[in-house]
Each structure stands twice: as structure tokens, then as C-alpha cells.
Amino acid sequence: MLVNPSLGQEKVKFAMVGLSHGHSPWFFEWGQQENMELVGVFEPNEDLLDKFQQRYNLKGDLLFTDLEEMLTKKKPDGILVFGPIYHHLQAVELAAPLGIHVMVEKPLATTLADAEKMKALAIKHHIHLLVDYETSWYPTTEQTFRFFNKPQTAYGDIRKMVFHHGHEGPKEIGVGPEFLEWLTDPVKNGGGALVDFGCYGANIMTYLMHGESPVAVTAVTKTYKPETYPKVDDEATIIVDYQDAQGIIQASWNWPFGRKDMEVYGVKGYVITKDDTELRYRTKGNGEVVEQINQEDLGLVSNPFEYFKQVIKGELVPPPFSPYTLENNMRVMEILEAAKESAKRGEKVMLKNDAVH
């Protein structure tokens, strides 16, 4: 546990690093709580910075186009990184030596090599490095984990997991131009749908499998809309082989509608989620049950910024390989890297199983 005793009952000071991600309004619109103080906002695009200043009535002394200047002047306790994935490494390189904790929007990095550098910096400088996924605060994600995590569970050991994540496509759903520019760039985003939505399944399956290392990864990618996404894939199917289980990730910018749902099959039962709050389950000898659940029922922190705050203050210690954790997301990067290599080579990629050691 890493605790900053100087914080006490004081507000945790947060700074935004990047505004181009479509999720960046979250902090301004519902994420900031009374126990949080916004001390700085960094964004190199001055036009975008001006838009946010006007939209959220931000004071001029909060705004910066130089990240290093903001970090040294404002000295935040933690930064919230919502720019191109490629820039995550730079944010950690500048923040970690100053003892500033980091939460990046998913995934951790564009490459496993960058992720390893980020991990090394976090360990060296004793900072928390977390990754935010929308599905991390879904009650159905946590409930599914608990169903299969019970001692002598009625569902039995997991044998198959199927994940459906995606939407009609970023351009089709109308993401902002600043977001679309880097989301469809193979360097700045690390890939297309494979990265954008493949990371969700990799993240959740790593949690469900308690961090077990996969044996191999096989992936097929397609670009069904080359006129819209000429540089990256818009469709990906990833098969993740474990010693005694299999995970199938279906990541798409071609769904007829947005979806984030999954199916988990054990030896003696299954759990199928519809969305963030509804799931259905069945065990041998019993009929299917449909259930609505919420965060309060599970004691789940539904605000990722509150979660980050509690981790910084030492009030919360993330369970091993849970969705926000660095060790989970190193495994995610291992899977995504192998998936990209498999799709490129057209063959199964065996894993060395050393990405999180």
C-alpha cells in the first residue's frame, strides 16, 4: 500500500492531461466531487482548450499548453490522462519523477514496450499507475467475477468467455474531430477496433482468470470500411488460449448498435450480461434467472476519479489483477501485442508469459 500521509483530510489535487478523448468531459460533468480540487488542465490544442474553458467556465490560471510547466507549477497529487494513447508514456515520464500518481484512459499504452517503460517508472518512483475502463464500474462485471470466485462455486471452473465490445464506428457515432484524428491513427492509437475495444475483453478476462497467463493468442482483423478507416482495422476477433479455458474477444466498429456485454461459461453454469446492470445466469438443475443489480448492492465505487482518489489516499487497495491495476493491464498489453502480431502474420502467437513479472 502506498499512502501519502500529508493528504490527511485535504482535497486531492487533480490535473487533466489532454482533452481530446471523448471521455474527457466525464471529470467536468459528473466526476469531480467535493473532496477533489482541479488545479490544472493541459491541452496542446489551444482551440480545444478554449472550448473547454468556455463550456465549463474554467479559470485562466488553470490552463496550460506545456505539460511540464503545469506539473511543476501546480504540483497535483494525481493526473488524469485523456489524450492520444501514444502520449501516455510521456505523461508518466514527466509525472513519475515528481511523485505524481497517474490514471490513464484505456488502454495502458500503444505497445508492450511503452507499457514496460511506464511500469518501470511507476515502480522506481513509487507512484500508483491505474487504467480506467468504463466496464470497471459496471455492476455486472463485478457480479460475474463474484459468481465464479466463490469457494466451491456452483458455476465451476471457467471454460469459455466471450466478449462483445464496440459500436457502429467512431465516425458513425459522431466523435469529435480531435478524437477521431488520433483514434484512427495506427501510431497514436496503436491500432483500430482491436485496440479501442479489444482491450475491454482482455482486461475483464484477466480479472476473471485471476491474472493467469495465456498460452497463445490468435487474431483476425478486417477493414470493412476502408474509405472511412484506411489506416487501421475496424473489426477484430481475438482468441486467447489458457491452459484450461478460452477467451474470445469480438471488438468492432461495425456493430449495428453500441454494446458492452459478455458471456462466461463454467463447467456447471453460465453468466450472460446484457449491459451494465442486467444479467442472466443458470446452473445445472436450475432454471435461468434474470437479475438487475446496482453498485450499492455490491459496494462498488462507481466513479473512477473517486476510486483513484481513494487509492492515492491509501483508503482503498485494489484487489490483485482487478481491472484498474497495473499488473492486469500489463497482461492486457501482452494480449493486444500478440493479437496484432497474429493478425499480421496470419498464425497463432505463443506467449512467453513474462510481461507482468
User: Other CB atoms closer than 10 Å to residue 61's CB: what's the count?
Assistant: 10
Question: Which 8-state DSSP code applies to residue 212?
Answer: P
Burial status of residue 260 (CB atoms within 10 A of its CB: 0-12, 13-18, 19 or more) = buried
The full set of domains in the chain, from first to last, is 12-134 (3.40.50.720), 135-300+320-350 (3.30.360.10)
Model's pTM, two decimal places?
0.95
Nearest to 326 by CA among 138, 131, 82: 131
Q: Is 101 helix (H, G, I), strand (E, B) or coil?
A: strand
> How many residues are there in the chain?
357
Task: Count H helices and E strands in the chain, helices first.
Answer: 12, 15
- Residue 236: what pLDDT? 98
Residues 6+ apart with CB under 8 A from 105: 21, 23, 81, 82, 131, 132
Instruction: Give the tens place of pLDDT for each residue, 20-55.
Output: 999 999 999 999 999 999 999 999 999 999 999 999
Distance separating alpha carbons of residues 195 and 119, to the nearest angstrom: 19
User: Which residue in the block uniquely carries the three cell numbers 495506427?
Assistant: 186
If we measure between CA atoms, which residue out of 220, 250, 218, 252 comes closest to residue 234? 252
Query: Counting beta carbons within 10 angstroms of the beta carbon of residue 248, is it exposed (0 to 12), middle (13 to 18) or buried (19 or more)?
Result: middle
CA–CA separation, 230 vs 46, rounded Å? Answer: 28
Residues of the chain with pLDDT under 50: 1-6, 355-357
193 contacts 171 by C-beta, under 8 angstroms: no
State how far the alpha carbon of 246 is from the alpha carbons of 10, 110, 149, 241, 278, in Å.
46, 24, 17, 5, 24
Provide the pLDDT for residue 353: 65
**DSSP string covering 131-169:** EE-GGGG-HHHHHHHHHHHSTT-TT-SEEEEEEEEE-S-
Residue 357, pLDDT score: 41
**pLDDT of 30:** 97
Residue 210: predicted pLDDT: 97
pLDDT of residue 253: 98
Q: What is the DSSP letter of 286?
A: S
